[in-house]
Amino acid sequence: MRIRRSDERLVSIRMARCQTNWERGVMKKTYQIAVIPGDGTGPEVVAEGIKALTAVCRTSDVDVQFKTFDIGGDRYLREGVLVADDEIRQLKAMDAIFLGAIGHPEVRPGILEREILLRLRFDLDLYINLRPVALFEGVDTPLKGKGPGDIDFVVIRENSEGMYAGGGGFFKKGTPDEIAIQESVNTRKGVERCIRYAFDHCRKRDGKKRLTLCAKTNVLIYESDLWRRVFDEVAKGYPDISVNYQHVDALCMWMIKNPEQFDVIVTGNLFGDIITDIGAIIQGGLGIAAGGNINPEGTAMFEPIGGSAPKYAGLGQINPLVAICAAQMMLAHLGEKEAAKRLLAAIKQVVKEKIASLDAGKMGYSTSEVGDLVVGCLS
């Protein structure tokens, strides 16, 4: 159990709770979860994620406590603050972070993304971006002839380097002679820790035990070369995992034509960003695609992959399942297998038997009713 000396109020609430449980003879393990509802529909979907988490924990031997952080576009417009250093310090001390959405129509694109989302990824060294791509029964995929058994893999995207971390600049900006340079940073350590995580994940996962490296060795003769060499070297320590390599462009085709070949895919930051959008759409879209930003030695942040959908904000029509999926991933990451399994089963049941569509406004239920359905399906 990690106790943060910095927040005495939370600690004392937790102690009180532990004590009550102790008196009842059930000592529950308690997790401190930071909640960043964020912008647009973020707060609405996060509320349902919290509802589901609370419900599943009520009947498990774990407990969750939430601490909300007011980070997002509204506060930026109001106070000019993006993320304060003290918030970074507090977030680092939490067991996990649950994020709704970041993105505001009145803030110029790029500011919130870079200064909030990417800052959290970098400052907390969340170097793994884990994005499962699974088609649940009852969900439509745009891929003709493919069903749930065919689409079930995980993309492990390096989340702290590559094009996202490189320097660059303009020269003679705005003139006909303009030059724009954008560099990609790939460190041996950064590549290796990501590839090792992918091998370990593949070993633990109940899948085909196949790891695919996605890069572009035929053109990116420096960065992809490093990825390939490290991949081949690390593979030697995992004889139980079969390995293969695909260029990113070919992999995009195969994800659509033969997604059943994939088990775990490991790739760099930008390629991972791109291929996981294909992943999201083939698993049914942004209403169901969640991801985790993970520091395996520290904290982790779970989020819906989609945006803040401002046009749906406050209407109670947005699908909260994606946030409930993010909450489910969080439980699994924290090692709460039993609770994670029960929550996943409830999500799958709702998708298969209860709602008409994953799309906002077409579910046949409101946002909070869908949250209630999940709670009602918990075994």
Sites of contact with Mn ion (CB under 5 A): 273
Which is nearer to ligand IPM, 113 or 369 (by Cβ)?
113
Which is nearer to Mn ion, 32 or 267 (by Cβ)?
267
Which is nearer to Mn ion, 7 or 115 (by Cβ)?
115
Nearest Cα to Cα of residue 375 among 51, 46, 14, 15: 51
Shortest CB 117 distance to ligand IPM, Å: 5
Shortest CB 273 distance to Mn ion, Å: 4
Whole-angstrom CA distances from 111 to 59, 317, 378 are 41, 27, 39
Which is nearer to ligand IPM, 90 or 159 (by Cβ)?
159
Q: Which residue has the closest beta carbon to ligand IPM?
A: 113
Q: Select the binding partner of residue 300 from Mn ion, ligand IPM, none (C-beta < 5 to 8 A, by kind).
A: none
Contact 149, 259 (CB under 8 A): no
Contact 34, 96 (CB under 8 A): yes
Q: Select the binding partner of residue 87 from ligand IPM, Mn ion, none (C-beta < 5 to 8 A, by kind).
A: none
Shortest CB 376 distance to ligand IPM, Å: 31
Binding site for ligand IPM (CB under 6 A): 113, 117-118, 273
Shortest CB 294 distance to ligand IPM, Å: 13
Give the contacts of 22 (CB within 8 A, at least 6 positions apart).
Answer: none
Q: Select the binding partner of residue 263 from Mn ion, ligand IPM, none (C-beta < 5 to 8 A, by kind).
A: none
Give the contacts of 112 (CB within 8 A, at least 6 positions apart).
Answer: 39, 72, 73, 76, 82, 102, 103, 104
Q: Select the binding partner of residue 274 from Mn ion, ligand IPM, none (C-beta < 5 to 8 A, by kind).
A: none
Contact 21, 63 (CB under 8 A): yes
Shortest CB 289 distance to ligand IPM, Å: 10
> CA–CA separation, 60 vs 57, rounded Å?
5
Q: Which residues pair with 156 in a beta bridge?
A: 130, 266
Nearest Cα to Cα of residue 333 among 304, 303, 296: 296
Q: Select the binding partner of residue 264 from ligand IPM, Mn ion, none (C-beta < 5 to 8 A, by kind).
A: none
Shortest CB 70 distance to ligand IPM, Å: 20
Give the contacts of 260 (CB within 8 A, at least 6 positions apart).
Answer: 146, 149, 150, 151
Q: Select the binding partner of residue 113 from ligand IPM, Mn ion, none (C-beta < 5 to 8 A, by kind).
A: ligand IPM
Contact 49, 84 (CB under 8 A): no
Q: Select the binding partner of residue 115 from Mn ion, ligand IPM, none (C-beta < 5 to 8 A, by kind).
A: none
- Enter the DSSP assignment of 114: I
Shortest CB 302 distance to ligand IPM, Å: 12
> CA–CA separation, 128 vs 193, rounded Å?
9
Which is nearer to Mn ion, 49 or 103 (by Cβ)?
103
Which is nearer to Mn ion, 286 or 321 (by Cβ)?
286
Which is nearer to Mn ion, 207 or 307 (by Cβ)?
307
Contact 277, 247 (CB under 8 A): no
Q: Select the binding partner of residue 270 from ligand IPM, Mn ion, none (C-beta < 5 to 8 A, by kind).
A: none
Shortest CB 184 distance to ligand IPM, Å: 14
Q: What is the DSSP string of 53-93?
A: HHHHHHTSSEEEEEEE---SHHHHHHH--S--HHHHHHHHT
Which is nearer to ligand IPM, 234 or 248 (by Cβ)?
248
